[in-house]
A and B are shown apart, each in its own frame.
Chain A
């Protein structure tokens, strides 16, 4: 069990650029969640996958955001035309089936800074 891995750990970019983050979940976990955390706040849910199917998207996820999990393994989160308000920590978490009482395991996040 190598844990949830996120890449990159930090991303600095200019406003208007596109960015993509990657999350590698724990290998046997079929559920994958993305959250966004701004300074001084708790994480907020963005979207989640069961295997390769994206099952729910928060209204926080504007049309500039897209997430994929093409083979039910790793996931990517892309932000197009970044804005200042996108600056945040983006956290990925994975877990077993819903009927399992096991917790979600989090990666160390990608911190995005928009100049």
Chain B
């Protein structure tokens, strides 16, 4: 069965510092991986995806993610955090036969001024 794990419930970082939100996956074959962000009482906003190609994927709002096949990881990164980045972040893998997304449990990012 496919699964995604986000080992940290919360990540705290100071504004201006780099941030990393961790994600590991378990799938057979090559994964289709996604990061979404959710603000309070809102739906999920797409940040970036890895389908194939370069292991470093660039996305919206200055975020990037690194696909590491040997470590089965897809960590989200940003060189310099903003207070406005504070939100709930979800990693997901897409089922290739149905397209449904299988999400991790989410990581709350708190960026302090």
Contact = CB atoms under 8 A, between A and B. Distances in A.
A82 B19 CA distance: 42
Given A103-B34, A107-B43, A108-B43, A43 B99 contact: no
Interface range for A:
20 to 34
Contact of B43 (A40, A41, A56, A109): A109
A111 B44 CA distance: 14
Interface in B8-34: 32, 34
Interface range for B:
20 to 34
Contacts, number: 60
Nearest to B51: A101
Contacts of B41: 108, 111
Nearest to A58: B100
A106 B106 contact: no
A21 to B, nearest CB: 13
B105 interface: yes
Given A6-B43, A101-B32, 18 more contacts: A4-B43, A33-B99, A40-B105, A42-B106, A43-B101, A56-B98, A56-B100, A91-B43, A91-B44, A95-B99, A98-B96, A101-B49, A103-B34, A106-B45, A108-B41, A108-B42, A109-B43, A111-B41
Given A4-B43, A43-B44, A101-B51, A55 B98 contact: yes
Contacts of B96: 98
Interface in A44-62: 44-45, 48, 55-56
Interface in A1-44: 4, 6, 31, 33, 35, 40-44
Interface in B85-112: 90, 92, 96, 98-106
Contacts of B104: 42
A108 B39 CA distance: 10
Given A4-B43, A91-B43, A107-B43, A42 B98 contact: no
